[in-house]
Amino acid sequence: MKIQRYILLLLFSTAVLLPGCDLYDKGFSFQQSSGSNGSEKNITPPATPETISGAVVTAPVHNTSVDIMLNGELENIGYTENGIIHFTNLSIISKFPVILYANQQRKGHFADGTQVNIKPRGIMMSEKDSPYITPLTTLAALMFEQGPQTQKAAEQIKRKITLLVHNTYGLPHFNPFADPAQEGLSKHEVLQQAFLVTLGLGLETDAIAMDTFIPTVTDIVHKMESDTFLGAVKSINPNLTSTIPDYITAHQSEITSRASSLLAKSETDPEQQEISRINFLKEMNEIVSSEFNYTAVPVRFLKTKVKEDGSYSNLPPTIPLPRNSTPIPFHFKITLLGNEDSIAETTANNTKEPTPVYSGEYVVTAINALGVLNEGSPLSPNQDTQLSAPSQPFENGSEFTFFLDSGAIVGSSHQITFTSVSDPTITATITFIAEEEDAVVIKSIDGTSSKKLFVFSGGDHTTIVKNSSCSLVESQLAATVTTDINAISSEELIKSVGVKFKLPEGLAFKIDDALIEEKLITTPPETTADSFIFTLPSWVEIVTLKDVSVEKKKVTMQVINLETKEVIAEDTLEGCFVSRIALNQIVDMQLVDSPSLVQTYPADHEDPIVTLPDFTFNCRILSWYDLAEIPKEEQPEYPLGETPLSVMLRFENEESSSNGFVKDNGECVREKNIDFAIIVRGNTMLTLELRNYMPDWKDCRLQIKPYTSSDIVRFVYTLNVAPNTKRYASGHLTFKTQ
């Protein structure tokens, strides 16, 4: 099919955004629209046809905005009509690649009228590119947003996501950035739902669930900087306790149910929609059962220092190493992590020797260093066993020792590169910087706090207003600086370095009536073993320069070379910044038995209506004191000034006339109020009991018509401060067959 290039591009979030349009079958092409009123212009055969990616798919999304970010503001460049983007303002794109933002106003909807609430993003590589926007391309776009926004960076990110799909999700040869119709629409949609389910996210049509979509994927991107994808996902989804393929297998019915229901929404007739859903469901179950093939591959290196006491610590990007007439041994361990590994589990959060699941080998591919590299942990350099590049393969987890030559020039860089045998694109380079023999060597800085709760004088439940102040308590903002190699006094230390505290945007330190956004500490710190603790005095105040949100924020702490002003080491400390009036509000609720509460019923039940057995569960009510990790004994006896206004259970499925909770009149609903089930309404805990109270009262057991053999049910609550806003508690329940 030929249509005019640059006139239109297809935007996809398979069964979420724009899965196609049957107008392709009828030979139409759409010329560029003018204006932004959403009207369609000039539906005529193209005058000078050129080839462009297209699709013949289902469930087109109508009335979706397509925007780019320009000077910090979203600027509209088009809209969708029947699954097609009509560009109305392409000329404002001055540079590619560019990030596309879709459905930012949440006005998109499927053919059957269902509102689309996901706000996905994608990367448009050039004006000739045909981008397809999906949950997975949103991950790529957010990764692209964090780094250099160049063509090369975009290509590397797309390759990384493609390999993630091939190996970790188990769909080899599948291109997640290609036209879903060409790649197999059902397979494409199963992949998107598998991605969302592994992140613990609800349906794209669920506004409450999609409020957390961008924050969750952003969190994954940040965590991938220091961990594998599996490790990043495990940190935000407590239900994921093994591998992603195992999780997909365990949640197959949920994934295929979601995917088939969304793709069926191209049908407006309910009967046809159900027929379509059943057909899709059968096809998708076959895809998950037979086409998902997991492959163990290397994904990144872990570089750790072997300390004198036998413990391990992560290496910084550069390692200052004093040159010495008697070379100082630097022991380190190189571990190759696979897609079944997470750094937190491999190192038990730095409390044990790294022990990866992956068993692949690596080699030394480059030694651009003046010194001797030996395998093992010798105390002096051994010229006879000195390693050279390229080396023989080493077993995963081998240890090495580097001795810097005493003739190395101060400030010179010395590098050793390791490369995976099975994937030469996976490399790790250790960089040593030659220092004077008596140089101060900083190993790390760690933010510490006696109290991670920063309470401001003015504001409401959501905002700290301008000119509000917060008085610090003793040691509330502190940084522990650890030195390496040489022993040194605090007086000697501050001749070379200081510690800078930097506040988040909109906040400043108030010192002697002066407002400064960062404070450099150069007074002698407290000394403990090989560490030094720099602390902001308690008489320092923090004030707001403008209105800021009530939320968790990060304070940056940096070790600064006083001579060169260079940042030697950096860390952040996360704290809760709240107004005094917000201090006693409910911040979150958490099912106590998370990650899940499971209620089972017979698989061979004859009655379509299932009565669940009696069950009781607890839900913890969390305050800002809890999020700030204030011990219970240090919290007020009654930290909260409210209890939930109402509580509900909600199936993580769409509204259906034939599935869900069964009301007394036989009608099925997706959501059910369970205020009646609260038997203990404490200040920090709710206890709910759903059981048969007859003959004294009534039968309060839940009656359901299951969607699938394993349904996720979320705990929903509202608060007095926002009675119309529904929120999800952390954790979920599962209703499943025995």
Q: Residue 482 — very low, low, confident or very high, per pLDDT cuts 50/70/90?
A: confident
Identify which has the larger pLDDT, 35 or 406. 406
Phi, psi (deg, nearest 5) at residue 679: -110, -20
Structure tokens at 647: 């509580």
Which pLDDT belongs to residue 317?
84
Position 88 confidence tier, pLDDT thresholds 50, 70, 90: confident
Taking the C-alpha atoms of residue 568 and residue 657, their distance in angstroms, rounded to an integer, is 62
42 has a pLDDT exceeding 60: no
Rounded to whole angstroms, the Cα distance separating 140 from 133 reads 10
Local confidence band at 661 (pLDDT 50, 70, 90 cut-offs): very high
* pLDDT cut 90: percent of the chain above it: 55
3-state SS assignment for residue 10: strand
CB 44 within 8 A of CB 122: no
Reference 646, options 669, 676, 679, 618; nearest CA is: 676
Confidence of residue 655 (pLDDT cuts 50, 70, 90): confident
Model pLDDT, residue 487: 64
Distance (Å, rounded) from C-alpha 246 to C-alpha 169?
Answer: 10
- Mean pLDDT for the stretch of residues 527-546: 90
Angle between helices 213-224 and 135-146 (to 10 degrees): 50
pTM: 0.79
Cα separation, 671 vs 717, whole angstroms = 11
CA distance readout (Å), 444 to 15, 320, 335, 635, 705: 47, 11, 21, 32, 56
Residue carrying the six token digits 């522990």? 480
Q: How do beta strands 318-322 and 427-435 pair?
A: parallel
The predicted model gives 664-686 an average pLDDT of: 91
Mean predicted lDDT score pLDDT of the chain: 85
Confidence of residue 594 (pLDDT cuts 50, 70, 90): low
Question: Which residue bears the tokens 């306790």?
Answer: 241
CA distances from residue 326 to 332, 354, 482, 486 in whole angstroms, order as listed = 19, 30, 23, 14
Mean pLDDT of 390-396: 96
Q: Is 291's pLDDT higher than 50?
A: yes
CB atoms within 10 A of CB 368: 12
Residue ranges in 291-403 assigned as alpha helix (H): 343-347
Burial class (CB in 10 A: 0-12, 13-18, 19+), 145: middle
The DSSP line for 517-567 is SEEEE-SPPEEETTEEEEE--TT-EEEESS-EESEEEEEEEEEEETTT--E
The whole-angstrom separation of Cα 131 and Cα 134 is 10
Q: How many CB atoms lie within 10 A of CB 518?
A: 12
Token reading at 467: 């000119």
Please give the average per-residue pLDDT across 620-642, as a whole number. Answer: 90
The arithmetic mean of pLDDT across residues 78-87, rounded, is: 75
According to the model, what pLDDT value does residue 169 have?
A: 93
- The pLDDT score that the predictor gives to residue 220 is 95
**pLDDT tens column, 131-173:** 888 899 999 999 999 989 999 999 999 999 999 999 999 998 8
Is residue 11's pLDDT more than 70? no
Nearest to 672 by CA among 714, 709, 611: 714
Backbone angles phi, psi at 463, to 5 degrees: -135, 140
**Window from 230-244, 300-314, 420-434 with minimum mean pLDDT:** 300-314
Task: Give me 17's structure tokens.
Answer: 């955004």
**Band of pLDDT at residue 183, cut at 50, 70 and 90:** low
Cβ-proximal residues to 386 (8 Å cutoff; 6+ apart), any chain: 372, 373, 374
pLDDT of residue 674: 95
Q: Tell which residue, 58, 68, 189, has the closest CA to residue 122.
A: 68
User: Residue 415 corresponds to which tokens in the numbers above?
Assistant: 């590098």
Among residues 448, 558, 556, 560, which one has the least CA distance to residue 493?
A: 560
Banded pLDDT at 182 (limits 50, 70, 90): low
Q: How confident is the model at residue 52 (pLDDT cuts 50, 70, 90)?
A: very low
- Token duo for residue 301: 């290196």
Give bridge partners of residue 551 from the DSSP assignment.
Answer: 577
The answer, yes or no, to whether residue 28 has pLDDT greater than 60, is no
Query: How many Å apart are CA 233 and CA 252, to the nearest integer?
Result: 18
Query: Which has more confidence, 595 or 14?
Result: 595
Q: In whole angstroms, what is the distance from residue 118 CA to residue 16 CA? A: 7
pLDDT bracket for residue 19 (50, 70, 90): very low
pLDDT at 481: 92
Q: Are 461 and 550 in contact (CB under 8 A)?
A: yes
In this predicted structure, the answer to whether residue 586 has a pLDDT above a threshold of 90 is yes
Any idea which residue has 């030694």 for tokens?
367
Q: What is the 3-state secondary structure (H, E, C) of 654-712?
A: CCCCCCEEECCCCCEECEEECHHHEEEECCCEEEEEECECCCCCCECCCEEECCCCEEE
In contact, 64 and 58? CB cutoff 8 Å: no
Edge-to-edge, what's the strand order for the sheet holding 329-338? 312-314, 298-306, 329-338, 399-404, 371-375
Number of neighbours of residue 490 by Cβ within 10 angstroms: 15
Site of tokens 């570089």: 303
Look up residue 405 and give its two tokens.
């030559």
Kindly state the tokens that stand for 431. 């960089």
- The number of beta carbons lying within 10 Å of the beta carbon of residue 385 is 12
Type and span of the H or E element at 213: helix 213-224
Phi, psi of 239 (to 5 degrees): -75, -20
Residue 260 carries which side chain, given as an amino acid letter? S
Our measurement of the distance from residue 701's CA atom to the centroid of its chain's CA atoms, rounded to an integer in Å, reads 37
pLDDT of 488 reads 76
Q: Which of 687, 659, 662, 680 is nearest to 672 (CA)?
A: 662
Angle in degrees, 0-180, between the axes of helices 252-263 and 270-290, rounded to the nearest 10: 140
3-state SS, residue 258: helix
State the average pLDDT over residues 554-575.
Answer: 89
Q: For residue 595, what pLDDT is reported?
A: 52
Task: State both tokens at 610.
Answer: 């299932």
Residue 23, pLDDT score: 29
For the chain, percent of residues with pLDDT exceeding 70: 90
**Residue 130's pLDDT band (boundaries 50, 70, 90)?**
confident
Asked if pLDDT for residue 731 goes beyond 90, the answer is: no
Highest-confidence range of 73-87, 382-396, 524-538, 686-700, by mean pLDDT? 382-396
Residue 614 pLDDT > 50, yes or no? yes
Pairing of strands 567-579, 453-456: parallel
Q: State the SS3 of 466-484.
A: CCCEEECCCCCCEEEEEEC
Stronger pLDDT, 4 or 380, i.e. the higher one? 380
